[in-house]
Structures are given as structure tokens and as C-alpha cells.
Amino acid sequence: MPTEEKTSYSYLEAIGAALAHELDNNDDFFLIGEDVGAFGGPFKVTKGFLEKYGPRRIIDSPIAETGMAGLAAGAALAGLRPMVEFQFADFISCAFDPIINTIARHHWRTGDAMPIVLRAPFGGRLRAGPTHSQSMETYFAHVPGLKIVMPGTAEDAAGLLIASIRDNNPVMFFENKYLYRRLSAQGSPSFEPIELGKANVVREGTDITVVTYSAGVHQAVEAAEELAKDGISVEVVDLRTIKPLDIETVAASVKKTSRAVVLHEAAEFMGMGAEIAAEIQKEAFWYLDQPVERIAAKNTPTPTSPPLEDAVIPQQPEITETIRKVAKA
């Protein structure tokens, strides 16, 4: 019987395909994490990897996030290229010390390369409650020495992950688990690395710029399509990486539209929106017709209750109306 050819792939499948591609092409690359082997990971990204690549390269760890991060640091210094998978980004805080004091700092002390990727499924909308729904990027964005990658599309997921694996600096790779099986793209994943620190204008517009990343990209595009019916032209910038921050692309867009809204799922207080708004003010203040507005989660733990979670995380009506308000002000 002929096998039916697969014509599309999901965000989740793009991640798995990128991992397999790098495992096939670099014997120094290996994975370590809780349940990444026999179980295939909590989201089955690494299903079948243990049988194909063996226990030397697919390493099941006990529940020991600090140990995994510390082992990765030692392996990187020995010339290997480790990847640590944290089942849920919420628990990466257990490894805060080796990430902050060793992985992020070592190169600056010695000049040694530290090629480590820390993969972390994050975010809400799965009704998973306050300890399985957090957006952790801002905690680490403040730390010199870490790159932070946050793909928002299935098309970008593989290329950004491969670029992260091949980078000689530590990279935190935050995957929005709500998008895993909800996004798909046509064809097969591209394994061409996507430059880190380079934003993408996913929709061009002339009246207002929305700067966002991860799941926010799709909310912004949906709002842009709705507002287009009222004659409001919205440009959407997907940052792809929040560190390095591609303020050049953001500023160019704001200089064109003269208005900006920053959208993200993490809490608003001390979040990326504040930093991006400050950078826009520095680079494009004289082009602004209105203050930069932020749309983000409320400063409270994410509830398990669906209506309460919806009340905390930005929803489509709020996003659309906020963009409309700034565009018409």
C-alpha cells in the first residue's frame, strides 16, 4: 500500500524535526531532561528518540532541574553541545542558580564557549493553573549572557531552534505549548537556520504598529484583520527573539506608523512591554503621535478556572479595542 504523503506539519512537529535533524548531523549534540527518553517527553516531542539515538544522547533525568543545568554546563565545557528540556517552564526556577551564575557568566569569566540550549514549554490557555502556565521570559531577559528565543509560528520554529543549537552562547528557547498542536504550516519544515535577533514583519500596515511575540503574533494578526474592516491598517512585528531585541526593525515600523502597541502574555508589571516601550521612546520619540500602549496579563498568578484565566490573560476583544483606541487617538 502506498503511504499517503504528509503535506503539513505542526509547531510541535517542527520542533521534533529540528531536534532529529541536529542529532543526525552532530554527534556532540545530546538531550537531557525528565522523561525525554522512554516516555518521549510530556508533549511527545522526543517520542522514538531513545530507540533511534540511544541512551548516551537521549538521557532521562530524575526530577533534578539544578543537576540537569549543572551537567549541561560541564558537558559544554568538555566540548559537547547539550540541550536541557524542562517539562514546564515554571520549574526552570529550580535551576536559577546554575543558569544565572554559571551558564550565563562563564564565557565572560574565561572566554570559553557555552553552547547550551534550555528548552522550556511555557504559557497559559491550557487551564493548567498557576504552576503550569507561567511566562518566564522576563526573569531571564534581565540577565546578561543569555539569548532568549520565542518562536510564534510553525514556519519559524525549526529554523530558530537549529540556530539556537548551533550558537556558541547559552540560549533559552521558550515554546508556547498552547500553539503546539494548534498551528500548522504547509509542506515540510525548513532546516535553514533563522538568524537570532532578527524580527519579522508578518503583516504590513500604515496606521499603527503592534510589537509582539509567540502567541501574541496570532492575536495581533486576528485583530489586524478585524480592524481592516474599519479602515485601520495595522502592522504586526514578530520579535522572534526578545534578546537580542531587534529594536531597529521595531523603530523603523513605528517611524512609518507613528503609533505603537506592545502585546505579550506575561504580566504587564516590569514586563517586556515596558522595556520595548522605553526603547521605542528612545529610538522613535519624535515620530510618535501617541504614547506607547501595553497589553499584557494582569499582575496575578494564572488561575485554573477557565473564566478566571481568561480574565487574566489578554483576550481578543481587549486587544482589538486597545489597538483601535490608540490608532484613532
- 107-162 residue pLDDT tens: 999 999 999 999 999 999 999 999 999 999 999 999 999 999 999 999 999 999 99
Given a contact cutoff of 8 angstroms between Cβ atoms, the answer to whether 246 and 199 are in contact is yes
Residue 2, pLDDT score: 54
Residue 246, pLDDT score: 98
As a whole number of angstroms, the distance between CA 263 and CA 213 comes to 8
Among all residues, which ones are annotated catalytic? 65, 132
Residue 182, pLDDT score: 93
As a whole number of angstroms, the distance between CA 262 and CA 278 comes to 11
Strands 147-149 and 241-243: antiparallel
Which stretches of the chain score pLDDT less than 70? Answer: 1-4
Residue 310, pLDDT score: 96
Residue 6, pLDDT score: 79
Residue 249, pLDDT score: 98
Q: What is the three-state SS of the chain? A: CCCCCCCEEEHHHHHHHHHHHHHHHCCCEEEEECCCCCCCCCCCCCCCHHHHHCCCCEEECCCCHHHHHHHHHHHHHCCCEEEEECCCHHHHHHHHHHHHHHHCCHHHHHCCCCCCEEEEEECCCCCCCCCCCCCCHHHHHCCCCCEEECCCCHHHHHHHHHHHHHCCCCEEEEEECCCCCCCEEECCCCCCCCCCCCCEEEECCCCEEEEECCCHHHHHHHHHHHHHCCCCCEEEEECCEEECCCHHHHHHHHHHHCCEEEEEEEECCCCHHHHHHHHHHHHHHHHCCCCCEEEEECCCCCCCCHHHHHHHCCCHHHHHHHHHHHHHC
As a whole number of angstroms, the distance between CA 326 and CA 258 comes to 10
Residue 5, pLDDT score: 72
